[in-house]
Amino acid sequence: MIATLLANLLRFVMLLLVQVLVLDHLDMARGWMVPYLYVLILLMLPFELPAWGALLAGAFTGLVMDLFSNTPGMHMSACVVMMFARIHLLSLIAPREGYEYGMRPTLPRMGITWFVTYASLLILVHHLWLFFVEVHRFDSFFQTFLRALLSAAFTLALCLLTQFLTSRQERGRA
Amino acid sequence: MRDLFRFLFRIRNTLLFLALLGISSVLLYNGNTHHRAEAISSSNAIAGTLFSWRKDITDYANLKEVNQRLVAENANWRNRHSSAYAPVEDLFVRINDTIRRQQYSYLPAKVVNSTWHKPRNFITLDKGSANGLHDDMGVIGPNGIVGVIRDVNAHFASVISVLNPDVKTSVKVRRTGHFGLLYWDTNNPVTSSVVDIPKHARVHAGDTVVTMGGDGIFPADVPVGMVLSVENPPGRQDQAITVHLFEDMTRSGFVYVVNDLQRAERDTLEKEHEAP
């Protein structure tokens, strides 16, 4: 319990630092690809976390992200929407025998098919919400849509990369 | 009644979701405007400190280039008329003259964080209210305008970049004198639009656009950009003018904050007339 909490807190700090200090300053393809790797904090929260905890974790992470990017409420709303989608998605794509206690939504534990389905859907929800709230209008709909899609693909790639690079530790920590 | 409570308990997560979404919407609608945004902006102490650490590290990578630009700019200052001066201290310099009254003073500041590839861009400066900064002061770079201060704390200031549709600056075409508003809707960090210039104004590509002044934010005639293209879209009262910004917003290292010394006087006068 304590170990899980500490692992998640550590992940929170590390991923937010990477996001704020490095990724927010990447200028990939003139703003067409903006990665938001920090969503991995929320993606990797344990299954047994109650729904209210998941929602509050989403709100808090989004708020901290807003603090660093001068966008009050923007990341917060996107993260809350994503966590709400996660609650429902987890029950939709649960394995036949349910989630075991202590099982975590990581790539080595759940397999690549499950993880990519899970991560890509949630990242897509988060990014579409975020980018449309950010531009705050629908008149350049397809441009914003394409930006969200490209950015989501980039974020997913970074999430997979992070999982591959840290997978050994994950197995040991259980 | 009991059924109602049972029902509310069953949908408690949805209710929590809606409540959190409500809070974020309130933040979103109240926070992003010009003046408010007190706590959640990068001028707060934690974010500002973190960004200045980052800047301390990344500064080494382009010291050479920054030095070259500073040298060029110093030479430019030296060549100016004697009534112009370079800021020498970390506080606003005031010069007393019996013939002319100084209206603007400048304070150098370092950009510790900036974005330019997002739909709304902001800049964080390493000076704050301790150095006399307050909101609604203009920020100019060596080549042209950069933005307007939105929020300050003791040691940091958060600036709305000109690459942000939330800030509209009064500008004029230097050659013809027609004025309009600089409004960033091009989504491109090197260009911006000028709106509200009437169709009869003969503006051509190559004309220089400068600030209007008189708004208490920017002095008059600060360079803004050069007109790239002029179009007359049907159904609009004004021309669609695209300008190339003189200041390269993707690499603002040092900037100057403009302090209008007569601002307080003007504001009190205007408030007196507004009051009744």
Q: Using 50, 70 and 90 to split pLDDT, how confident is the model at B102? A: low
Compute the average pLDDT of residues A155-173: 76
Which chain A residues touch B188 with a CB distance below 8 Å? 30
Residues B154/B43, Cβ–Cβ less than 8 Å = no
Using the Cβ of B16 and the Cβ atoms of chain A, whether some distance falls under 8 Å is answered with yes
Percent of chain A with pLDDT over 90: 41
**Whole-number pLDDT of residue A173:** 47
Nearest to A27 among B13, B54, B117 (CB): B117
List the single residue in A with minimal CA-CA distance to B112.
Answer: A21
More confident residue, B31 or B237: B237
What is the average per-residue pLDDT within A85-98?
83
Question: Would you call B40 and A56 a contact, using CB atoms and an 8 Å cutoff?
Answer: no
**Is B169-247 in the same CATH topology as B45-164+250-261?**
yes
pLDDT at A125 over 90: yes
Across the interface, whether the CB atoms of A67 and B120 are under 8 A apart is answered no
B40 CB near a chain A CB, below 8 Å? yes
Q: Does domain B45-164+250-261 have CATH number 2.40.10.340?
A: yes
Between B64 and B142, where is the model more confident?
B142
Residues of B in contact with A69 (CB under 8 A): 42, 115, 122
Please report the pLDDT score of residue A158 as a whole number: 93
Q: Is ipTM beyond 0.85?
A: no
Model confidence at B90, pLDDT cuts 50, 70, 90, reads: low
Separation in Å, CA A96 to CA A89, A111, B39, B166: 14, 15, 46, 51
Give the mean pLDDT of B92-116: 74
Structure confidence by residue, pLDDT tens digits, A94-111: 777 777 776 778 887 788
Question: How distant is the Cα of B119 from the closest Cα of chain A, in angstroms?
Answer: 6
Encoding tokens for residue A1? 């319990």
pLDDT band at B244 (very low <50, low <70, confident <90, very high): very high
Contact check, Cβ <8 Å, A34/B118: yes
Q: Please give the full DSSP string across B124-167, using - where no structure is assigned.
A: EES--GGGT--TT-EEE-SSSEEEEEEEE-SS-EEEEESSSTT-
CB of A69 less than 8 A from some CB of B: yes
Closest chain A C-alpha to B252 CA, distance in angstroms:
14
How far is the C-alpha of B41 from the C-alpha of B151, rounded, in Å?
A: 8
DSSP, res A99: P
B24, B111, B113, B135, best to mutate vs chain A, most A CBs in 10 Å: B24
Please, what is the average pLDDT of chain A? 85
CA–CA distance, B102 with A126 (Å, rounded to integer) = 52
Which is higher by pLDDT, B60 or B218?
A: B218
Task: Answer for the pair B36, B151: CB distance below 8 angstroms, yes or no.
Answer: no
Mean pLDDT over B213-241 rounds to 86
pLDDT digits (tens, 9 = 90+) for B147-194: 999 888 888 899 999 998 888 889 999 888 888 999 998 888 899 999
Domain ranges of chain A: 2-173
Cβ distance B20 to A74 less than 8 Å, yes or no, reads no
Largest CA distance in chain A: 50
The pair of structure tokens assigned to B26 is 């309130």
Q: What percent of chain B has pLDDT over 70?
A: 83
Cα B107 from Cα B113, distance rounded (Å): 18
Of A158-167, B85-94, B256-265, give the lowest mean pLDDT range.
Answer: B85-94
Q: Does A42 have pLDDT greater than 70?
A: yes
Query: Would you state the pLDDT for residue B48?
Result: 80
Distance set, CA B41 to CA A8, A123, B38, B261 (Å):
25, 25, 7, 27
Q: Look up the CATH architecture of domain A2-173.
A: Orthogonal Bundle (1.10)
Domain B169-247 has CATH 2.40.10.350: yes
Cβ–Cβ of A68/B42 closer than 8 Å? yes
Question: Which range among A75-89, A132-146, B130-144, B227-241 shows the weakest confidence by mean pLDDT?
Answer: A132-146
Q: Is B130 on the interface with A (CB under 8 A)?
A: no
CB atoms within 10 A of CB B114: 25
Cα B217 to Cα B178: distance, rounded to the nearest angstrom: 19
Model confidence at B251: pLDDT above 80: no
Domain boundaries, chain B: 45-164+250-261, 169-247
Q: Does B34 touch chain A (CB under 8 A)?
A: no
Strand segments, DSSP code E, in chain B are 104-114, 122-125, 138-140, 145-152, 157-161, 169-173, 179-183, 191-195, 208-211, 223-231, 240-245, 254-260
Contact residues, chain B, for A133 at CB < 8 Å: 28
Distance between CA atoms of residues A95 and A98, nearest Å:
5
Of A6-15, A160-169, B113-122, B251-260, highest mean pLDDT:
A6-15
Residue B104 Cα, gap to closest chain A Cα (Å): 29
